[in-house]
Amino acid sequence: MKFTLSTVSKCSGRLGVLAGIDRLPAVSIQTPGFIFHTKGGSVPHLSKEAMQHVSSTEPTFLHLSISNTLHMQEAIKASRTTIAEFIAQSNSATLLFPRDPSESAIPGVPEKESLPIYTRYGRRNIGVNEYMEMVEAFRPDAYTPLYDADTDESSSKKREQKSLDRTEKFVEQSLDWHRKSDVLRSCALIGPVVGGYNEKLREKSIEFLRNTDAPYVGYLIDGLHMNGASVAYMDGKAAVPVVTNVCKQLPEEKVRFCFGAYDAKLVLDLVASGVDVFDTSYVYVKAAQEHRALAFSFDVKSTPNEHTTELDTTDAQLAEDFSPLVAGCACYTCQKHSRAYVHHLHNTREMLGPILIMIHNLHHYLEFFKAIRHHVANDTLPVLRQHLDRQTSLPPYILKEEKVVIPTATVLKDDTEAMKEPTDVSQDKQSKKQRA
């Protein structure tokens, strides 16, 4: 994998191309851009055929995470295929990471030698050996060594330090494995930069990666949040300076990844900081969990205060609204269906509902990134940022379920899982939904 930087603007980030995959020489993405967030290797809710409605080309770069691909390991090993072949995406580049940006990290103190992962079979602690065995079986086009970046703005200094210490240990062990492995020779490495909101620890993390002398194709800036749907409401005031500083210290010619369900404004701020590649977990969180269609305007010639950033498709007022989700949108959903129909699909819990919203949201996101690249090229990203600032946002999404807290004392004795932690049922349902 190779990154070619073409333009660095004064106040609007940089333009480049990510390509150079040995087995897919024709596949590339322009940056700032995104890789497709997947569950088990598929874009959630969209079949390959449905993806054709989003873009005429197949998804070129896929974000895979171990929580929803771990169960494939034995079958992949037995069939002697790569993960790309196994998920029938041979024409797409596969990038493997420990965390799914749409799933909240598991709270609590992690084990010393492993990273806790929620899989379809429950919680698993993944150590370096298990992780690297999985990487060897999958043979993705690129991956990060195992690391611990379960930190956010509220993490203590102690936790941030621990994240760095554990990451250093995990990365060293992963690299040892990588160097000895013949199978992994064609897999590119991405260096994980951790250290939470502590600038000194971030510097140390970068220095550590430099000293490992590994041929990283790029870097992943992680540890800014605990992933999941709440990231969509992160304001980024504290995160952006951290990312800016990290980007200043990273080698300019290397690609920088930064994953999470960031809203459009935060994406622009991170682009201006120097981030090149994002993922589409925001689109998924909005479509599948919040039933919201992206409607923010990125046409700076339009009047900004006429726009609302999202459309709540559960809103009863849409029942007789036969206009498209977003006026002027060229996506399949907006061309063929109305707000009233999508609202009706939600009411009748039809599976087609999230599919149609996903198609629109992905299309909207693709067009948004085209606009970003246009503004980076003209060094006018601040104009687009101001345009977004003047648009009206919907109130944050709240899970519309009754909150029921089960006190520990009433839990049956044989229900050992529930006895460990008194649970807030609505939250638990939400996190299960996120993991699904």
CB of 321 to Zn ion, least distance (A): 14
CB 167 within 8 A of CB 194: yes
CB 63 within 8 A of CB 220: no
Of 62 and 331, CB closest to Zn ion: 331
Residue 32: asked if its preceding bond is cis (omega within 30°), the reply is yes
- 360 annotated to a ligand binding site: yes
Of 258 and 334, CB closest to Zn ion: 334
CB 360 within 8 A of CB 293: yes
CB of 359 to Zn ion, least distance (A): 7
Of 151 and 297, CB closest to Zn ion: 297
CB of 271 to Zn ion, least distance (A): 23
Residue 299, Cβ neighbours under 10 Å: how many?
13
- The secondary element (H helix, E strand) that includes residue 5 is strand 2-8
- The secondary element (H helix, E strand) that includes residue 133 is helix 128-138
Q: How far apart are CA 233 and CA 2, in angstroms?
A: 33
Of 229 and 357, CB closest to Zn ion: 357
CB of 149 to Zn ion, least distance (A): 34
Q: DSSP class of residue 59?
A: P
Of 132 and 331, CB closest to Zn ion: 331
CA 371, 4, 214, 1 dihedral sign is positive
CB of 229 to Zn ion, least distance (A): 22
Of 53 and 375, CB closest to Zn ion: 53
Of 99 and 364, CB closest to Zn ion: 364
- The secondary element (H helix, E strand) that includes residue 277 is strand 277-279
Residue 140: asked if its preceding bond is cis (omega within 30°), the reply is no
CB of 36 to Zn ion, least distance (A): 18
- 334 annotated to a ligand binding site: yes
- 331 annotated to a ligand binding site: yes
Rg over alpha carbons for the chain, rounded to the nearest Å, is 21
What's the start-to-end Cα distance of the chain, in Å?
A: 31
CB of 331 to Zn ion, least distance (A): 3
| Site residues (vs Zn ion, CB under 5 A) | 329, 331, 334, 360
Beta strands 122-127; 142-143: pairing state: unpaired
Q: How far apart are CA 187 and CA 189, in angstroms?
A: 7
Residue identified by tokens 């849409």 is: 318
Residue list, annotated binding site for Zn(2+): 329, 331, 334, 360
Q: Residues annotated as binding site? A: 329, 331, 334, 360
